[in-house]
């Protein structure tokens, strides 16, 4: 084992960790914004919406994330340059970068998996609580915001925490479309130093550490959310 390359690459690993966390944070944030309506329409929505949400979850969960990522980056990405005049606009520099595509693909993936979980979560809230909220005159939106969503999230919080850790473990895929997060930096080191095991082991250790941090964070959030005497 030779580790003399480590000090030289440490700053790049720090950048890689920051990029991984950004990718994870953004895709969980946008993904959950989509997952809540996707779960909700499957429980209450009119059938075309419920059916569309169901189909979306099935397709996302039935295909590998790697294919989705390549479809978004190479497939959709190859369509944009054919739009006339797009190269002169502001968004071109944004569309040329790989990171937005990675965030988009991961967001869809989070929405698909978590939408399915939110469906179960919304279903699992006892009917009586929703009827009670309606009976004291809350509007449907108030019922959702004050009772249905908080109760649903509380029930599935441990499941969601586990899913977010799976999302963290999927982030190395972004390296295949030139987003140089932790794993991407590790492969650069591998190419430049011709060392096989050390960079991979170091990358693995970083992921174990990040997973531990997330576990501690979610444990803390879960305890804070707990309603006394339940």
Task: Say how far apart CA 13 and CA 165 lie, in whole Å.
Answer: 20
What the block records as the tokens of 21 is 């966390």
Is residue 2 within the footprint of other proteins (CB under 8 A)?
no
Q: Which of 66, 83, 132, 213 binds other proteins (CB under 8 A)?
A: 66
Residue 155 contacts residue 121 (beta carbons within 8 Å): yes
Contact between 1 and other proteins by CB under 8 A: the answer reads: no
In the complex, minimum distance from the CB of residue 11 to other proteins, in angstroms, rounded to a whole number: 21
The residue (of 58 and 139) whose beta carbon lies closer to other proteins is 58
CB of 134 to other proteins, least distance (A): 27
Positions in 100-159 near other proteins (CB under 8 A): none
Cβ proximity to other proteins: between 156 and 168 the closer is 168
Task: Determine if 188 is a binding residue for other proteins (CB under 8 A).
Answer: no
The C-alpha angle with vertex 110 and arms to 109 and 113, in degrees rounded to 5, equals: 85
**Contact flag: residue 201 with other proteins (CB under 8 A):** yes
The residue within the footprint of other proteins, chosen from 145, 169, 225, 226 (CB under 8 A), is 169
| N-term to C-term CA, the chain | 52
Three-state SS annotation for 138-153 = CCHHHHHHHHHHHHHH
Q: Give the binding range for other proteins (CB under 8 A) out of 7-15, 44-52, 62-70, 107-115.
A: 62-70
Choose the binding region for other proteins from 35-43, 94-102, 125-133, 202-210 (rule: CB under 8 A): 202-210
Count CB-CB contacts under 10 A for residue 153. Answer: 16
- DSSP result, 58-75: HHHHHS-HHHHHHIIIII
CA dihedral (114, 116, 122, 123) in degrees, to 10, reads: -160
Residue of 125, 103, 158, 105 whose CA lies nearest to 39: 125
Decide if residue 63 touches other proteins (CB under 8 A). Answer: yes
Q: Which of 17, 21, 71, 153 binds other proteins (CB under 8 A)?
A: 71
Provide the minimum distance between the beta carbon of 45 and other proteins in the complex, in angstroms, as a whole number.
23
DSSP class of residue 189 equals: H
Give the integer Cα–Cα distance in Å for 75 and 56. 19
CB of 126 to other proteins, least distance (A): 18
70 binds other proteins (CB under 8 A): yes
Task: Name the site residues for other proteins (rule: CB under 8 A).
Answer: 58-59, 61-68, 70-71, 74-79, 168-173, 175-176, 183, 186, 196-197, 200-201, 203-204, 207-208, 211-212
């Amino acid at each position: 084992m030779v580790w003399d390359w480590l000090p030289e690459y440490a700053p790049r690993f720090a950048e890689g960790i920051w990029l991984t966390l950004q990718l994870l944070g953004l895709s969980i944030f946008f993904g959950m914004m989509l997952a809540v309506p996707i779960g909700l329409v499957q429980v209450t929505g009119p059938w075309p919406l419920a059916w569309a949400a169901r189909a979306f979850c099935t397709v996302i969960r039935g295909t590998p994330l790697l294919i989705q990522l390549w479809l978004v980056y190479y497939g959709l990405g190859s369509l944009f340059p054919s739009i006339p005049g797009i190269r002169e606009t502001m968004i071109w520099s944004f569309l040329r970068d790989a990171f937005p595509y990675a965030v988009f693909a991961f967001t869809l993936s989070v929405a698909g998996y978590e939408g399915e979980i939110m469906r179960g979560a919304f279903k699992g809230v006892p009917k009586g609580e929703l009827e009670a909220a309606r009976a004291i005159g809350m509007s449907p939106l108030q019922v959702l915001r004050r009772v249905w969503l908080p109760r649903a999230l509380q029930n599935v919080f441990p499941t969601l925490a586990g899913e977010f850790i799976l999302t963290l473990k999927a982030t190395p895929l972004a390296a295949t479309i030139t987003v140089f997060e932790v794993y991407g930096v590790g492969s650069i080191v591998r190419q430049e130093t011709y060392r096989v095991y050390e960079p991979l082991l170091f990358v693995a250790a970083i992921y174990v550490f990040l997973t531990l941090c997330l576990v501690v964070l979610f444990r803390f959030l879960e305890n804070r959310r707990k309603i006394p005497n339940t």
